[in-house]
A and B are shown apart, each in its own frame.
Chain A
């Protein structure tokens, strides 16, 4: 461990020297080789990245452009360090595999806060440094030892105005009421949000959801099984809705915004009882750029301008309370922490999901298949 640390520092130092022209390329590569830094890391230029880049691991698509302009530019201006992207999607299993293999190539992962609860105690994550990152710039309860919520996304639903014109569904109770609101529903396949929605539909208060009563939730889910299909990705539910396969769909609120636009308002987003999900930045153990640089990156993302740009570009809602009041008028209906919505939403408990998520997903899959 000591040796690894030494080598990393030596390489970081020599990468700087190489960049500034104090060391020639051949010596630099020889040093990389001698210290056993993986060839592929050198080939990909990652040893250089280790010196002056932070590698963000996200989900691709628009997020490269948006994370770059919202966080990357300000971070580069403040620290002189660049931002690179790995767009392969930091699923929990992939983070675990990356750290276990000892070849950590990402500095910060755009993940869920419950990932911090399940992967932190097993030694796969760096703890958040709260001397650099601020606990006050996120919602209370969403600044945990191994992860901090930077944005919120929400599980809301959209409905077809042509199917329910005069009497639109207002809440989860209506969503699960197939007698008065006939039509096919789309639910999220990996349980998250679907379970909470089922419990609220069954009469559980939004602030008394946890610990989730799994049997009760699954019974409610099964009660509309014949009228349900299930989606696994944002693009999948998007196509289910715009192709009119369903009349209602549980959906991420930023997708809801896109769908309203794509269908010229035929489908409408309902944020009542939407569940706020803390999207978190977490740091794989032994990240190449070092702890300080990545903590500065996270701190940059917490700032109000970055928060508002992420909302504008990706539709991700700010989690920094100082930004709530500055959400622009046209984004108010789609941002779950806007003045228009904040009193109607419920909050996800990352600790419960971190500790019970695996079993919950399996039980859910069993119930729907």
Chain B
């Protein structure tokens, strides 16, 4: 008993039941999905081979990646300016901005998606106003296409991009920037060479967060894409519920999981992940 206690901290005994429960409830289903991807409909790597053989699957994966990358670029750069403004304005204004940000963060994704239809749809507020003013002769197709999906997704993702950036910017020591100016650097030099590198962990954190969340988007593409923008999440759901090709669905799910893990691993080569997620860099 003593020998065991020397190697394993007794505290683990308290944690163990919970840990076992989490592992069983979390890893179990994931392993089940992996297993399904190599056994349904028949044992072997047939489902994975389809990725090479079927252009349509590749196209869906490609569409998903393209949309996620564009969404991430726009969300993070817009989020960066919002966070920057929040850190550098008066406290009162900052609180207003934070409230607005959190309110939109809390509103259901369905509501936010459908409000875009009311604003930018064919008969929406914007198109109607422009037409009445005589600026356009036919409605602009903002919605029911890839542009619509991007608008909806970027809008949904901005709060997720802002929050990690805000944390990272707030923890900066502003005297460093003062020192840079004092030593003769211009404002933009200070920004590009001091401020931006110091906020890099925040940028990486919000990029990862936004990209990973975007991969699983389902409602927004289905509604705003008008059926023409097929992303992996919706395709998986169709394969599970309608066409009963559970093997294909499991393969795509496993692929997404592997993709996310690979991304985290690549990031960890360049920087300490603990820094990204708010831990100490040392």
A residues with a Cβ closer than 8 A to B are 91-94, 96, 118, 184, 187, 189-190, 225, 229-232, 236, 239, 243-245, 357-359, 361-362, 365-366, 368-369
Complex-state Cα separation, A96 to B222, whole angstroms: 24
**Cβ–Cβ contact B228 & A92, under 8 A:** no
A245 and B144 contact, Cβ closer than 8 Å, known pairs A92-B244, A189-B227, A232-B227: yes
Complex-state Cα separation, A362 to B234, whole angstroms: 12
0/1 interface trace, chain B 203-227, chain A, CB 8 Å (1 if under): 0000000000000000000110011
Q: Is B77's CB within 8 Å of the partner chain A?
A: no
A contact residues around B60 at 8 Å (CB): 369
B residues with a Cβ closer than 8 A to A are 56, 59-60, 63, 117, 121-123, 144, 222-223, 226-230, 235, 238-246
**Cβ–Cβ contact B56 & A366, under 8 A:** yes
List of 9 A-B pairs having minimum Cβ-Cβ separation, nearest first:
A230-B227, A358-B243, A229-B226, A369-B230, A93-B241, A366-B56, A91-B241, A189-B227, A93-B240
Interface-central residue, A94, A358, A365, A369, by most chain B CB under 10 Å: A369
A contact residues around B245 at 8 Å (CB): 358, 362
Complex-state Cα separation, A236 to B56, whole angstroms: 26
Enumerate 11 A-B pairs (CB-CB under 8 Å) in ascending A order: A184-B122, A229-B227, A230-B228, A236-B223, A239-B117, A243-B117, A245-B144, A361-B243, A362-B245, A366-B59, A369-B230
A contact residues around B230 at 8 Å (CB): 365, 369
Task: Classify the interface of chain A: helix, strand, loop or mixed.
Answer: helix
**Cβ–Cβ contact B238 & A230, under 8 A:** no
Complex-state Cα separation, A245 to B216, whole angstroms: 28
**Cβ–Cβ contact A93 & B226, under 8 A:** no
**Cβ–Cβ contact A362 & B56, under 8 A:** yes
**Cβ–Cβ contact B121 & A229, under 8 A:** no
**Cβ–Cβ contact A243 & B243, under 8 A:** no
**Cβ–Cβ contact A243 & B244, under 8 A:** no
B contact residues around A189 at 8 Å (CB): 227
**Cβ–Cβ contact B123 & A243, under 8 A:** yes
Q: A229-B226, A362-B245 are in contact. List 19 more A-B contacts (CB 8 A).
A: A91-B242, A92-B241, A92-B242, A92-B244, A93-B240, A93-B244, A190-B242, A229-B144, A230-B228, A232-B222, A243-B122, A357-B243, A358-B243, A361-B242, A365-B56, A368-B227, A369-B227, A369-B228, A369-B230
